[in-house]
Amino acid sequence: MIPIAFYTPDYNAQSDCFGCASYGIASNDAENGNVIKKFEIEPEAIEISGTYEQCLVQAEKHTLDSRIKAAIVLLGNAGNENEFIHRLSSFLKCPIVGGSAAMNFATNTKGLISSGGEANLLLVIDEQFDIEVSFRNIHMHVLSNHNLEIDNSRTLLKIDGCDAVEWLSDMKHIYGFSETDFEHMTFSDENNVNAHLRMENGLIVSGRDLAKNMKLRYVNQNEVYESVHSFCDDHNAIVFGCAGLRGIIDREIVTDTLVLFLFGEVCFTNNHAEFGNLMLSKIKFIKRDISD
């Protein structure tokens, strides 16, 4: 049995649980930092940690293990998250969820401190539970498809041949969003998994790898809270949410669910996993009826 717990980036005690730093935890945001919250279920599981390559080698050894019901993947801000998740998902034939640890900006400390390394995996093998995974893109309004010119996977240069900075500024003005607002309007890939854009040194930069063709979409502010809360209102579940969404939620999410706010989310879609941003990804543990 492996305990699972998540903590705020300033948490200063040692944790021997599987987990990482979260930029706040739902229903605990009123507390003044230094918070840890344990998940009520301690599943039987296999834990793997280390560099990306070490994790891939160790995980591949379990490819044929029929006991594996799902994998939780926590990433340690090492970059190349999309490539790692794609490689892991290519042979680990089970639902995969998780996210990238929040960092402590005051100390520039990376948030995957329980086990260190670039990634930490939990392969759930507990026969007491069935596992359900799901994800939600709250940016429900899909506008149009666009061709993107990108550099180094995550720098957006042009949109339909136009300068990306100017194009996005004009589009936000049309729909009533601030030029600096990168949370209400964004692009998603063919699997409806978002990117979180930002301005950096005069360029538009993404928190995940961009595709050459992506969909422009947005969410109105009055739709944000209900869409997030309804997905998080569950039992025996962990929700990996985006810190960018936390920034636009206009009130505290009160829930018994363990809801986290990370720097990227792993979403399971069409039988493979994708690393994205501004998303909600959930794993739910369902107690099996032993009489079956």
Residue 220: per-residue pLDDT: 97
Distance CA(36)–CA(261), nearest Å, equals 13
Look at residues 130, 187, 134 and name the one whose alpha carbon lies nearest to residue 164.
187
User: Binning pLDDT at 50, 70 and 90, where does residue 111 land?
Assistant: low
Residue 291: per-residue pLDDT: 59
Which of these ranges, 7-16, 187-196, 261-270, has the smallest mean pLDDT? 7-16
Which is higher by pLDDT, 12 or 285? 285
Mean pLDDT of 179-185: 97
What pLDDT, in 10s, does the model give residues 64-96?
A: 888 999 999 999 988 999 999 999 999 998 999
Residue 55: per-residue pLDDT: 94
CB 239 within 8 A of CB 280: yes
| Position 225 pLDDT exceeds 70 | yes
Distance CA(266)–CA(13), nearest Å, equals 27
Joined tokens for residue 71: 């994998």
Mean pLDDT of 21-47: 84
Residue 101: per-residue pLDDT: 93
Mean pLDDT of 44-50: 94
Residue 65: per-residue pLDDT: 85
User: Binning pLDDT at 50, 70 and 90, where does residue 3 land?
Assistant: very high
Mean pLDDT of 106-124: 76
Percent of the chain with pLDDT over 90: 77
| Position 108 pLDDT exceeds 80 | no
92's CB contacts (< 8 A; 6+ apart) are 59, 60, 62, 63, 68, 71
Mean pLDDT of 122-132: 95
Residue 35: per-residue pLDDT: 84
Distance CA(135)–CA(229), nearest Å, equals 13
Domain boundaries, the chain: 5-136+222-287, 141-218
Joined tokens for residue 151: 């550099």
How far does Cα 244 stand from its chain's mean position? 11
| Position 32 pLDDT exceeds 80 | no
Which is higher by pLDDT, 115 or 168? 168
164's CB contacts (< 8 A; 6+ apart) are 148, 149, 156, 157, 158, 203, 204
Task: For residue 276, count CB atoms less than 10 angstroms from its CB and return exposed for 0-12, middle for 13-18, buried for 19 or more.
Answer: buried
| Position 113 pLDDT exceeds 60 | no
Residue 242: per-residue pLDDT: 97
Distance CA(283)–CA(132), nearest Å, equals 6
Distances from the Cα of 142 to the Cα of 80, 185, 189, 278, angstroms: 27, 10, 12, 15
Look at residues 283, 292, 285 and name the one whose alpha carbon lies nearest to residue 134.
283
Residue 198: per-residue pLDDT: 97
User: Binning pLDDT at 50, 70 and 90, where does residue 9 land?
Assistant: confident
User: Binning pLDDT at 50, 70 and 90, where does residue 116 land?
Assistant: low
